[in-house]
Amino acid sequence: MARIPQRLLRLRDEKLFAGENILWQSRPDAWAGLRWTGATWWLSVPWIAMSAFANWMKWIDGATYPLLIVGAAFAAIPILFFIRDLQTLYVITDRRVLILRGVWKDNKPTAASMSYNRVSTPKVEKVSGNVGHLYFASDFSTQNEDADHTGRYGFRWVKDVERVRELLSGAIGKHA
């Protein structure tokens, strides 16, 4: 596993309560996320090539730049998600779960935590091999970057997701 950046470790230490113990911590598997979201490149690269070709053939003089910008935006999406995942740290403690992000939005680190009394039974959605999403809450706004399109909230692109689910279930059980 790649080394966790110091800024994320400092943020984690700032957000922990006195006496709170870390049971598990990890970053999302950014490469798995890149492989998944990289599918947009199957659309964006031909889009950019066709826009450039159409411009070269003088078919779309006035629309060239907007079409190229749309293609570039689609090409940038996987890279932006990759960078975001590299700046994310998931933590399970003996009291709660935390999602920490380094400088990303508004040039401020962000921290979201949820105590075990708000957490539901963890559910796994496998993505590829032993990588998957671990959902432990629902009915969140789909605008939340840690919620999926149905409002399920949790850790995304987790390695050894089944092992992490068991660990979280055990922690919830001890807290209940």
Residue 20 lies in a domain: no
Q: Is the pLDDT of residue 103 over 80?
A: no
- Provide the pLDDT for residue 162: 97
Residue 53: domain span: 1-14+26-176
Residues 6+ apart with CB under 8 A from 121: 136, 169, 172
Residue 147 lies in a domain: yes
Residue labelled with tokens 């070269």: 56
Residue 19 lies in a domain: no
- Provide the pLDDT for residue 37: 83
Looking at the structure of the chain, the number of domains it has is: 1
Residue labelled with tokens 């079409």: 67
- Provide the pLDDT for residue 62: 83
63 pLDDT band, cuts 50/70/90, is confident
CA distance 97 to 82: 22
